[in-house]
Amino acid sequence: MADQSPRPAAVEAREWGWRHASRNAWAVRDVAFRIESGERVLLLGASGSGKSTLLHGLAGVLGGAEEGEQAGSLLIDDEPAAHRRGRAGLVLQDPDAQVILARVGDDVAFGCENLGVPREEIWPRVRAALDAVGLDVPLDRQTKALSGGQKQRLALAGLLAMQPGLLLLDEPTANLDPAGVAEVRDAVTRLLDVQATTLVVVEHRVEVWLPVVSRVIVLGDGGVIADGSPDEVLGREGAGLAARGVWVPGIPPSHPPAPARAPGAALLSASELAVQRVASHPVASGIDVVVRAGAALAVTGPNGAGKSTLGLTLAGLLPPASGTLAATAELAGDAGSSPIRWASRQLLTRIGTVFQDPEHQLLAKTVREELEVGPRALGLDETETARRVDELLERLRLAPLARANPYTLSGGEKRRLTVAAALATAPRLLVLDEPTFGQDARTWAELVALLARLRDEGSAIVAITHDLDVVAALRAERLELGAAS
């Protein structure tokens, strides 16, 4: 495959910029750099610095004039990137958004079909590409049965089969567990050995890609603010980048202090608990755990172990499959001991839940109204509602966004909003599903500090997480669920 693959692409940005049609501000502007054929580049920058926009521009998927306005030029092999579709391949962050067809082989072949590759050449390419990313499954395996890491490798194979000269990766591991992260990184390393390709990768977690890249470019206000070898750039700009949310190796975000007091009263206890989403399909069982006030509990384990399902069950949203889950009088008050029997309104002051995907729980047209939903459901008066909402807007740095539509916020802002919305009714227990997923270092530190403070104020925290740093930072007790059988 290597001998027939085309030359790696050279990339050049000449004072390039892009403004989305619906926005007044430029997403990115005045970007200038040249990447030589075969270079491997890590593209860094704070959230909102336009890294993704730049990658989409290189992939030629930003669309035409009706989608936005372009300044300067973006060239692949000295031609406008938009004219070189197929020369560059793009892998996106969300594994589920990139699976196109139902069977693995067909999905990998999709790009070749679009480029008009002859049929007899497609299937050898498909097999070679799956080989290169180490995805050793039959061609007719259902794509929906793959794990997140496998789906990202499938997307990589789909691009590789198109034999691009330029590989663009947009936070390809942000939504994966640690095993998936290593899986994808190793697949990229291996495929670069098989097929020489220019590589541009965007990722907050720098240390994952340091072994692969030879150059780091940093985007900031006014275009490129640093460009050079990884050692040089991180040495010079490391502290500044860390302050703007990039995970720089050797500069971890600060951890909050340990709890001053021992855990308080038990709020919720499970014994021999089995949990399920769909009737008679339990995904985890034999769970014994006590959730205590003033303490954090971290639920960890591989994908598919039933962590989220356990979270939703503890939160009183799913009925247990078997076993018992009982709230103590301390948590339940006058509401009975079984959380699933509580009314929706009764949950508000007892258990708050922050879902993994913030968009599932957005209800209102503005950020302020979103925070008012809970207090209004409780029947609080206008003054008290306003007092709570104003306080949360300040505390979670959402005040400037009070009138924005929640759907238009960035990932980090949406996460802060859903946490704030849960806090607006002051629940004794807060259940969070992957609160730090895909967050930059700054949002990470803020969330962890906030959770630590809630814990010290006497709330109980249950965090479902892959992120062992969260477990350490919160001094959380750890409940490890096993792999699904």
Partner 1 sequence: MTLLDAHARTGRMSRVNPVAKLGAAALITIPLVLTLDVVSATVALGLELLLMPLAGLGWREFWARTWIVWALAPLTGLTIALYGRTSGEVYFHWLFVEVSAGSLVLALATTIRVLAIALPSVVLFATVDPTDLADGLGQVLKLPARFVLGALAGLRMVGLFLDDWRALELARRARGVADRGRARRFLGMAFALLVLSLRRGSKLATAMEARGFGAPGPRRWARESPFGAAEWALMGVGLAIALVAVAAAVAAGTWNFILGPGV
Residues that bind partner 1 (CB under 8 A): 56, 59-61, 85-86, 89-90, 92, 94, 96-103, 106, 109-119, 122-123, 126, 144, 155, 158-159, 162, 277, 312, 315, 317-318, 343-345, 347-348, 351-353, 355, 357, 359-363, 373-374, 377-378, 407, 421-422, 425
Closest distance to partner 1 from the beta carbon of 149 (Å): 17
Closest distance to partner 1 from the beta carbon of 240 (Å): 31
> Any idea what DSSP says for residue 164?
-
User: Do 185 and 173 form a contact (C-beta atoms < 8 A)?
Assistant: yes
Closest distance to partner 1 from the beta carbon of 344 (Å): 4
Q: Which of 61, 38, 81 is nearest to 199 (CA)?
A: 38
Closest distance to partner 1 from the beta carbon of 207 (Å): 27
Distance in angstroms (rounded) separating the CA atoms of residues 387 and 372: 10
* DSSP helix/strand/coil, 405: coil
130 versus 218: smaller Cβ distance to partner 1: 130
160 versus 208: smaller Cβ distance to partner 1: 160
168 versus 226: smaller Cβ distance to partner 1: 168
**The two three-digit tokens of residue 473, written as one number:** 């930072």
41 versus 112: smaller Cβ distance to partner 1: 112
234 versus 421: smaller Cβ distance to partner 1: 421
98 versus 195: smaller Cβ distance to partner 1: 98
**The two three-digit tokens of residue 187, written as one number:** 């697949």
Closest distance to partner 1 from the beta carbon of 140 (Å): 10
137 Cβ contact list (under 8 Å, min separation 6): 104, 130, 146, 150
Distance in angstroms (rounded) separating the CA atoms of residues 482 and 463: 17
Closest distance to partner 1 from the beta carbon of 230 (Å): 27
* DSSP helix/strand/coil, 42: strand
* DSSP helix/strand/coil, 80: strand
106 Cβ contact list (under 8 Å, min separation 6): 139
Closest distance to partner 1 from the beta carbon of 381 (Å): 16
Closest distance to partner 1 from the beta carbon of 219 (Å): 21
14 versus 345: smaller Cβ distance to partner 1: 345
Cα atoms found within 13 Å of the Cα of residue 118, Cβ hemisphere only: 2
Within 10 angstroms of residue 138's Cβ, the number of other Cβ atoms is: 9
Sign of the C-alpha dihedral computed for residues 280, 285, 290 and 291 taken in this order = negative
Within 10 angstroms of residue 194's Cβ, the number of other Cβ atoms is: 16
For the chain, how far is it from start to end, CA to CA, in angstroms?
38
159 versus 200: smaller Cβ distance to partner 1: 159
Paired residues of 40 in beta bridges: 199
